[in-house]
Structure 1
Amino acid sequence: MSSGAMYAAHFGLKQRPFTLLPDPDFLFWSPEHRRAYSVLEIGILSRAPITLVTGEIGSGKTTLLRQLMNRMEEDLSVGLISNFAGAREDLMRWVLNAFGLQVPEDHPDDVHRYQVFVDFLVQEYASGRRVILIIDEAQNLSVDALEELRMLTNVNSGQDEVFQLILVGQAELRDRILRPKLKQVAQRIAASFHLGPMRSEEMQDYVRHRLQSAGGSGDEFLDGAMVLIHKNTDGIPRLVNQLCDLSLMYAWTDDEEVVSAETVEAVLQDKVFFGAQLLGGAQKEQQA
């Protein structure tokens, strides 16, 4: 039995409540997450050419996307690109792959890739379906790649939006799109939202929610522990998960029934929570 499973049993939990994998079953609807999700839905329903959602690393963007894709209507054809890596010239390969499309081997160039994609859009439109391309971790896209994507939205004409684009990424994606060179991309963004960190009370509700979702009471962390966790994570969900997971493990090894401030302090002093060092480094950069 793994240490995670053993500490879960110690606290009467069915499973570890603070794993790092995006899991819609543990989705916590903070006010910020509700607004971000609403923007994604509004972008789809209003047929926005481009919808943009940005947020800090670990703020829960990918979990929101999983929830969105689970609720997509049947009249939508959805393609997902995660962690794009490559030059602008590689983009159409990724786009076609997202929809399971292939280019004849005797015509492997970008012109034919583009034509295959347009033919797919026309076919879906004729079948009464809209096509949505979602790009997660879109901060990896270069300026040229973003402009290439903007060109794909040119297939929309008249009153019908055949193709929609959803871009999700870190804060630098928003900054990049605001550059003068990408003015035309920015003009096509009809819905956007930046997902920030959780405030202290929201984070405490988040921790309780995940504990209860895993079969706990939600009171496994004392108030003093909660204060320390928010102070050392800035309310960023991924970092909160890491510190809470380690704190539960420490409490289990000490045979404690709850996580106290002293438990969290022990984790921090042992420097096993690497996120605190990353957060401290980022804060120093901002001050410089």
Structure 2
Amino acid sequence: MYTDFFGLTSPPFSIAPNPDFMYLGARHTEALAHLRYGLGDAGGFVLLTGEVGTGKTTVSRTLLQELDSNTDVAFILNPTLSELELLAAICDELKIRYKKADASLKLLGDKITQRLQKNHQADKKTILIIDEAQHLQPAVLEQLRLLTNLETNTKKLLQVILIGQPELQQLLQRNDLRQLAQRITARYHLLPLDLNEVQHYLKYRLQVAGCSRPVFSPKAVTALYQQSGGIPRLLNLLADRAMLAAYSQQQATVQLAQVQRAATEVLPLRQQSAGAARQALPGWFWPFLTGTGIVVGFLLAMVLLPVLRG
């Protein structure tokens, strides 16, 4: 709707995973490096966690694009499966044929083992990627561990990447999953973007969409960072709605008021409260709050806010 007004060739802040708009900030690049390291010859489990919308899928898609044709990949997006359903899903992804009527843990496990051995003999890697892995049941995770038991003297024949929200880290701290946790060769927790990265993120996506001039005022950029918490998915929603508001008012530059209006339209009340607290508290306060510290910081902000305003 506003693309012609801003001189754009396409919407710059769609939440659809368009590879043309894929932005890899410093944190995403570091996360990708950890995944690459974890997929070295030694193999085992690799763990990538982060809050909703921080870019875990972006990192995993980038990794997939890097893998060569000599890699067999199984990508499971809906892990709310039983042990048998998981093995069946792996077989389906790897195009392993089996009779559904005869499916059992042993049968499917044997077929997967045969494929792993065949791939190894052909000098071919086998990688299993599970997104939203925080939903996996402990028994299913244990079944995954058993699959990774197959190994040579130097490497695992199956490498597993678990991608999920922070709850996944808590899940893997269970005593009955300690053997799996010990097999994690690389782990990375993806934090939200900082203010500088938000500036680069906005500029990059606008340039890809055909606009090289600044569209957001400095105050608008700061407000986008504060209201989104640096989470790319929320940033896209806010930026898109703010540009729409500016277009409706025929303003060539998005101002603070449009971002504030966008926040009231697209963010839950609790998220708006956190954004308001960010704007009211001193600038030095917020850089200390990353990861789980944001929760503590938000509570502290609610205490300090009346004092600072008074």
* TM-score of the pair, normalised by structure 1: 0.91
Q: Secondary structure at the match of 1:41?
A: helix
User: Residue 161 of structure 2 corresponds to which residue in structure 1?
Assistant: 166
Which runs of 5 or more structure 1 residues have no equivalent in the other structure? Answer: 1-5
Letter paired with 1:65? S
After TM superposition, the structure 1 = structure 2 runs for residues 241-252 of structure 1, keeping only pairs within 5 Å, are 241-252=236-247
Kept in 2, the 8 Å contact 1:77–1:129? The answer is: yes
In the alignment, is the contact (CA less than 8 A) between 1:55 and 1:196 conserved in 2? yes
Q: Which residue of 2 aligns with 1:32?
A: 27
Q: Does 1:136 align with 2:131?
A: yes
Structure 1 35/284 Cα, relative in aligned 2: closer, same or farther at 3 Å?
Answer: closer
3-state secondary structure, aligned to 1:7: coil
Any stretches of 5+ residues in structure 2 without a counterpart? 275-293, 301-310
C-alpha deviation, 1:74, in angstroms:
2.2
Shift of 1:285: 11
Quick check: 1:72 aligned with 2:72? no
1:56 pairs with 2:56: no
- Quote the offset at 1:149 in angstroms: 0.7
Q: 1:257 aligns with which of 252, 261, 285?
A: 252
Question: Partner residue of 1:7?
Answer: 2
Q: Residues of 2 paired with 1:162 and 1:182: CA distance? A: 21
- Quote the offset at 1:48 in angstroms: 2.3
Which residue, 80, 91, 94 being the options, matches 2:86? 91
RMSD of aligned Cα (Å)? 2.1
Deviations along 1:115-174, whole A, 9 cap, x unmatched?
111111111112111111111111111111111111110012311321111111111111
SS at structure 1 position matched to 2:252 = coil
1:179 paired with 2:171, answer: no
CA distance in 2, matches of 1:266, 1:160: 54
- Show the counterpart of 1:214: 209
For residues 259 and 63 of structure 2, what CA distance do their matches in structure 1 show? 34
Query: How far apart, CA to CA, are the structure 2 residues paired with 1:46 and 1:40?
Result: 12
The 3 A distance-change label for structure 1 pair 20 and 41 is same
- What is the DSSP-based 3-state SS (H/G/I as helix, E as strand, rest coil) of the residue aligned with 1:115? helix
Does structure 2 conserve the Cα–Cα contact (< 8 Å) formed by 1:137 and 1:170?
yes
Aligned partners of 1:96 and 1:117 also within 8 Å: yes
Displacement of 1:23 after TM fit?
2.6
Q: Does 1:273 align with 2:266?
A: yes
Report the alpha carbon displacement of residue 86 of structure 1 after superposing the two structures with TM. 2.3
Question: Deviations along 1:210-242, whole A, 9 cap, x unmatched?
Answer: 111111115101100011111111101100011
**CA distance in 1: counterparts of 2:90 and 2:178, whole angstroms:** 23
Q: Which structure ranks higher in relative contact order (CA pairs < 8 Å, sequence separation ≥ 6)? A: 1
Partner of 2:186: 191
Q: Which residue among 105, 109, 113 is the counterpart of 2:104?
A: 109
Tell whether the 8 Å contact from 2:42 to 2:154 is kept in structure 1 after alignment: no
Which deviations, in whole Å up to 9, do the C-alpha atoms of 1:174-206 show, x marking residues without a partner?
Answer: 121122221111100001100001111111111
1:17 is the counterpart of 2:7: no
Q: Determine helix, strand or coil for the equivalent of 2:212.
A: coil
1:98 Cα deviation from its structure 2 partner: 1.7
Contact 1:204 1:226 in 2 (8 A): yes
Q: Secondary structure at the match of 1:132?
A: strand
User: Residues 154, 13 of structure 1: CA spacing in aligned structure 2 closer, same or farther, 3 A cutoff?
Assistant: same
Measure, in 1, the Cα distance between the counterparts of 2:175 and 2:25: 34
Instruction: For 2:46 and 2:35, locate their aligned partners in 1 and report how far apart those are by CA, in whole Å.
Output: 7
**Is contact 1:18–1:245 with CA below 8 Å preserved after alignment?**
yes
